[in-house]
């Protein structure tokens, strides 16, 4: 896999890893704002998250990879 974003085959991604974080220089896999992404999750446009703990929410790598494919990206 020769892309700028090396995603693991399985696992979980936090929101900042998906939409990026300028403060910590994490590039966006999906260039969209936090509110727009969360509204898309709520409407069913984007995958549902998985609760890993009381204060930890993440998305399956497989779901995000499929979403990027649907949106026309190459990850």
The answer to the question of residue 63 being in a domain is yes
The answer to the question of residue 19 being in a domain is yes
Question: Given a cut of 90, is residue 7 above it in pLDDT?
Answer: no
Q: Domain count for the chain, please give it.
A: 1
pLDDT of residue 4: 41
The answer to the question of residue 61 being in a domain is yes
33: CB partners within 8 A, 6+ apart = 19
Question: Given a cut of 70, is residue 11 above it in pLDDT?
Answer: yes
The answer to the question of residue 2 being in a domain is no
Range of the domain at 26: 12-71
CA 24 – CA 35 distance, rounded (Å): 19
Q: How many CB atoms lie within 10 A of CB 45?
A: 12
Contact (CB, 8 A) for 47 and 6: no
Question: Given a cut of 90, is residue 73 above it in pLDDT?
Answer: no
pLDDT digits (tens, 9 = 90+) for 13-58: 999 999 999 999 999 999 999 999 999 999 999 999 999 999 999 9
The answer to the question of residue 52 being in a domain is yes
How far is Cα of residue 49 from the mean position of the Cα atoms in its chain?
10
Average pLDDT over residues 1-8: 58
The answer to the question of residue 3 being in a domain is no
Residue 47 token pair: 């995958």
């Amino acid at each position: 896999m020769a892309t700028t974003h090396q995603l693991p085959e399985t696992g979980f991604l936090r929101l900042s890893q998906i939409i990026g974080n300028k403060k910590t220089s994490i590039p966006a896999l999906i260039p969209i704002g936090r509110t727009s992404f969360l509204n898309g999750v709520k409407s069913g446009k984007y995958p549902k998250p998985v609760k890993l703990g009381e204060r930890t929410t993440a998305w399956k790598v497989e779901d995000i990879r499929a979403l990027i494919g649907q949106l026309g990206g190459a990850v």
